[in-house]
Structure 1
Amino acid sequence: MGCARVGRSHLLQAACHAASDADKRALYLPLYDLGHFPPLMLEDIERLDIVAIDDLECVIGRKRWEEALFHAFNRLRDAGKKLVIAASASPRQLNVVLPDLASRLTWG
């Protein structure tokens, strides 16, 4: 979590580059740019080794996105993959509507 211009995006991208350098499959998803699309990009995401989701706050409160994120979180966890998420505030401050997603976001 952190306010604008503190390096969240840079850290997420660096994690993806490091994974790539280690021959791992990584994906960086900037929701500021992608959040206006439907969350189809989260389907089969558990095939990747690391997923970095940036700007989570951009899709909070949108039912389809929250449900897709909840299911993606579970599939990644069950597959033993890594999920890294950044937002402008802590999970408790984001006003997540879906209780199960709110719970998952506070796990880590």
Structure 2
Amino acid sequence: MNLSQQEWEDQLEKDDNAFILDVRSPEELQEGYIPNATNIDFYLGQDFLNEVQKLDKSKNYYVYCRSGNRSGQACAIMNSVGFNNAYNLEGGFMNWEGEVEGD
């Protein structure tokens, strides 16, 4: 499910079962990241899927990349393997105006 930047941030703030998933590359991570995010690089392909399948399917996943494209694909993949709650950040990190760490 796609959420606007505001919807994503508002929903995340109220969610005590949230897991923030950053699917960007290691190079992109150097630009900073949303606090408490876990990184699994979408470009790893099968290894990305292997790592995602180790995650707890009962959590609510807030997924982002640079622009919202890869994270949208990641949410679709997650839905196809049994994750019911995966939320894509529309516009991605490049439009994020919330808190950032590591930049």
Query: Which protein is richer in helix relative to its size?
Result: 1
Larger Rg, first or second structure (1 or 2):
1
Range of TM-score over shorter length: 0.3 to 0.5
Q: TM-score, normalised by structure 1?
A: 0.42
Which one has more relative contact order, counting CA pairs under 8 Å at least 6 apart?
Answer: 2
Q: TM-score w.r.t. structure 2 length?
A: 0.43
